[in-house]
Amino acid sequence: MTSHIRVARVGKDTDFAQKGVKWHLLRRTMMTGSQCGKTHHKGGFDSPPQIKDLDIQYATTYNVEQSAIDPKLDPVAVNNMAYGNNMEKRATNEYLTVIEKYYELQYPGHHVDAVVTPVSFYIHKGGLCMASPDGEVDIVVTSSKDGSTLAKHAGVLEVKCPVHTYFAKSSSKGIRDPKVPITYAMHAPLLPSGDASHLSRKFGPSLPPPRLSISETFQHESDLYRTHADNAFSIDGAYSQYFSQCLLNLMLSDREFCDFFVWTSNTPSASGKSHTFWYKFQRPADPYPSVHLERIYRNDPAIVEQYMDLLSSITLWTQARSPALNSNIDQFIAYLSREGGNQVELPHLDPAEAEDLCGWVPEEVLPPQEEESPSSSS
């Protein structure tokens, strides 16, 4: 089976680097990971006004002379986006600390090396959609005795650095500089925070502790498989937009897993407060109270089923909006030609092929290989 298209990121100024003009133009020719949850529109995050705004966004001609940031965005949204970009490196470094600790506990006494490599994006082999994760994750576990490789794991990473209302309140005395980490406030619609009294709808729907646990207990891949009872972080759940983004990251990358990492600074504020996710009051031994880590696996049957459901929704959305998408493709090709590039043809997706893709099942969805707990080899 033909693999999807992978575009590596060599440098921020290269062709199609994330957040560049060509990247923005290409994103308008097909559905993207950050927006694809709206095509399914069964989750709690989405609403008809947001879907309407999405259609308007694709139908509006992109002004390549303007800043890469949409000029229609209000200053609050611009600052919030800037904050996420500024904090992403710090968040990624803490993710590496957390994930190395996790595998060190899984493989006690052995050496763990984790690396996150930037990638620009992946394109669905039929030109149906694209995904731009925050990096590719490669984890290698080597024996402390002879240096032999005990395990290799390959995934993708999606990082979120949410903010609250500091940037919105002009009268606020809180932090308003998007270069300074927020230490206490949290964007309520993303994940609930605070103590046990903060479980009302005001603070967002309840999200259970993730399966991946930083503890001494060895976890097989199948221990992290999901079910449709995972109502919060699922295609139909309250966080469907983020979950759908992770689904595309995972399936278009052809890698083993996708980690969804939510980061806030653990530095106390002037009043001594720092961020803690609500469920971690029930896990006092957790050494990382200011972060949240979810994982989904490519071989998980529930994940495959939800991906096929999402792909079907994306296909229907694409077919219904072909005039706007074709216009955006023309603009994209015209811009490349103006820049001196060769004629470009994007993959054509006709309705019959789209129906075939909706029935696709990954060829390598195999039962997980039960491995012996690595502690026995130390």
**What pLDDT, in 10s, does the model give residues 213-229?**
887 778 999 999 987 66
- Residue 66 pLDDT grade (very low, low, confident, very high; cuts 50, 70, 90): low
Range of the domain at 349: 5-362
In-domain check, residue 376: no
Overall number of domains in the chain:
1
What confidence tier does 260 reach under pLDDT thresholds 50, 70, 90?
A: very high
Residue 231 token pair: 């109502």
Q: What is the pLDDT of residue 198?
A: 41
With beta carbons less than 8 A apart as the criterion, state whether 265 and 340 touch.
no
Q: Are 318 and 325 spatial neighbours (Cβ–Cβ below 8 Å)?
A: yes
Q: Which residue has the tokens 């929704």?
A: 313
Query: What pLDDT was estimated at residue 130?
Result: 95
Tokens of residue 234, six digits? 């699922």
DSSP per-residue codes, 203-252? G----PPPS---SSS---GGGG---TT--SSSTTSTTHHHHHHHHHHHHH
- 217 burial via Cβ count (<10 Å: 0-12, 13-18, 19+): exposed
- In this predicted structure, the answer to whether residue 360 has a pLDDT above a threshold of 60 is no
Lowest mean pLDDT among 22-36, 42-56, 151-165, 287-301: 42-56
pTM: 0.83
Dihedral over Cα of 134, 8, 118, 223: its sign: positive
* pLDDT at residue 91, as a whole number: 94
Residue 367: inside a domain, yes or no?
Answer: no
Q: Is residue 20 part of a domain?
A: yes
In a domain, 28, yes or no: yes
pLDDT band with cut points at 50, 70 and 90 for residue 31: very high
CATH number at residue 21: 3.90.320.10
- Please say if the pLDDT value at position 364 is more than 70: no
DSSP 47: -
Burial of 205 (0-12, 13-18, 19+ CB in 10 A): middle
Query: So what's the pLDDT on residue 132?
Result: 93
CA 227: distance to chain centroid?
Answer: 19
Is 122 buried (19+), middle (13-18) or exposed (0-12) by CB count in 10 A?
Answer: buried
| Calpha distance 283→211 (Å, rounded) | 13
Judge whether 370 lies within some domain: no
Please report whether residue 378 resides in a domain. Answer: no
- DSSP state letters, 304-316: HHHHHHHHHHHHH
pLDDT at 340: 61
Residue 14 resides in a domain: yes
Instruction: In whole angstroms, give the CA distance from residue 66 to residue 155.
Output: 35
Average pLDDT, the chain: 77
Q: Which amino acid is at 255?
A: R
In the chain, alpha helices (H): 21-27, 37-40, 48-59, 75-106, 240-253, 301-320, 322-338, 351-358
Given this model, what pLDDT does residue 247 score?
Answer: 96
Q: Which pLDDT value is given to residue 162? A: 78
DSSP, collapsed to helix, strand or coil, labels residue 13 as: coil
Break the chain down into helix, strand, coil percent, rounded to 5: 35, 15, 50
Is residue 372 in a domain?
A: no
SS3 category, 253:
helix
